Structure 1
Amino acid sequence: MTYQRLSIDPKHTALLVMDYQLSILGSLSEAEGLLSRMGKAIAVVRQYGVQVAYVRVAFDDADYDAVPETSRMAPAIKAAGRALHSESPATAVHHRVAPDAGDIVVRKTRMGAFSTTDLDARLRERQIHTLILAGVTTSGVVLSTVRDAHDRDYQVYILEDAMTDRDPHVHDFLVKKIFPQQAHVITIDELGGLLSSEDEGSST
């Protein structure tokens, strides 16, 4: 995709790597390709000093107890059991895209990246106003976070090739019909150009 006069300011941008954890990737047939592409995206943004933030889903004992029976999430959480416990290795960020020192890492207990974390506050204190989103799945964490980030007045970019859904038709529909209403949909190959164009603009 080509955008006129579109650029990303690295100093005020964060890449959100969402739910790239063993317990979720293990159920996806395209996990290897996703990990390779995500690793490439992380490497690109680090070259420009973009803040990298990680979101993972995991529950401690109190979190399990706090989920009401009326929640639509309750059956899935109970079925997952200890596999989603905060101390389980299965909830760790995959080692191929693991955090470095200085990265933000938050643990959530609901679908989106913001509602059960302090992510918004940690981004604001770093003067972040632009987000690049990547995650699994497209209809899960990505959809929830796009809407929430848009409502919080972030400028949002979507890395369409750093996310997937168990239903490819749902992924395509969201990327082509829904996300463009709240975000710029881009590819990993476009990242470097968008980040460097901001550098060039600020140096003139």
Structure 2
Amino acid sequence: MATKSEASKFYVDVNLGATALLLVDIQDDIAGRLPQDGLKDMLANVSRLLNLFRVEIQCRRQRLSNSSNHGQLFDQVPLIVHHIFPAGINSNGFISPYNKLARWLRALEAAGHFDKEAQDPNHPQYRIVKELRPKDDTWGSKDEIIIPKLSAGSFSSSELLGYFRARGIKHVILCGLTTAGAVLGSARLGADLDFHIIIPEEGVLDDDKEINDFLLDKILPRFVDVVSASDIELLFKK
């Protein structure tokens, strides 16, 4: 495995065709409790990356449709995953009382952050913040999917790994809420599973700025690439 050059911001070279954009817990009931000014900026940054992925996917799908090799194993098409936490569903019966997360969820529920409509498991798109939904809320593409998860970390309790294996995903650009919660848990376990995890520092947010900055500056770079959103945008210009 080649290590990064001094000029590169990434530990290994990034192959966009084997890359997933993983958006973790960017949903209304969690976003509603965070500082709104910071949330607005964060969503704008994530939206730019999301649109780059959507355009790249569309272009690659078009090329595949014009190619005789459209049945290749992994297609070399990026993947977008909206990974949501189904808070409120079945009265949160999937969370053990021994898990401290249960107390956090009770506090969110008491504060009125759970939208009853958003708790419909047949329509998980209702939970995703409006700024990140596809145009006209048209879901169903195999290239932009929604997966619920039952724990803070993305790799612990969902079918995410199955989708990644099917698409040959090696690199994961991780954005989400919150930095000390879902982002940290997903980054650490994802790295342990040998994925190349990349975190755009403008694409995550925590309700405690001091913790957010400490994790991005001191902890996460030991395990994953913490870069700027502009570094990721440059990948699409090669």
Fold similarity call, TM over 0.5:
yes
* Alignment partner, residue 52 of structure 1: 80
* Alignment partner, residue 70 of structure 1: 98
Q: Distance in 2 between matches of 1:38 and 1:67?
A: 29
2:130 pairs, out of 95, 113, 116, with: 95
Identity %: 24
SS in 2 for 1:48: helix
Residues 52, 236 of structure 2: 8 Å contact kept? no
Q: Distance in 2 between matches of 1:65 and 1:179?
A: 31
1:27 maps to 2:33: yes
* Alignment partner, residue 14 of structure 1: 20
- Correspondence list, 1:122-201, <5 A: 122-197=163-238
Shift of 1:2: 5.3
Q: Distance in 1 between matches of 2:9 and 2:45?
A: 25
Q: Distance in 1 between matches of 2:125 and 2:163?
A: 25
Shift of 1:39: 0.7
Letter in 2 for 1:18: V
Q: Distance in 2 between matches of 1:27 and 1:4?
A: 32
CA-based RMSD? 2.5
Residues 199, 227 of structure 2: 8 Å contact kept? yes
Shift of 1:65: 2.7
Shift of 1:35: 1.5
Structure 1: state its 5+ residue gaps. 198-204
- TM-score, length of structure 2 as denominator length: 0.74
* Alignment partner, residue 3 of structure 1: 8
Task: Please tell me whether Structure 1 or Structure 2 has the larger radius of gyration of its CA atoms.
Answer: 2
- 1:77-110 CA-partner distances (Å, limit 9, x unpaired): 3333481773288961112101553312111121
Q: Distance in 2 between matches of 1:158 and 1:2?
A: 18
Structure 2: state its 5+ residue gaps. 1-5, 58-77
Letter in 1 for 2:173: I
Letter in 1 for 2:208: D
1:120 pairs, out of 161, 167, 181, with: 161
Shift of 1:69: 2.2
Q: 1:192 and 1:94, CA in 2 relative to 1: closer, same or farther beyond 3 A?
A: same
Q: Distance in 2 between matches of 1:90 and 1:167?
A: 27
* Alignment partner, residue 47 of structure 2: 39
Residues 15, 133 of structure 1: 8 Å contact kept? yes
- TM-score, length of structure 1 as denominator length: 0.85
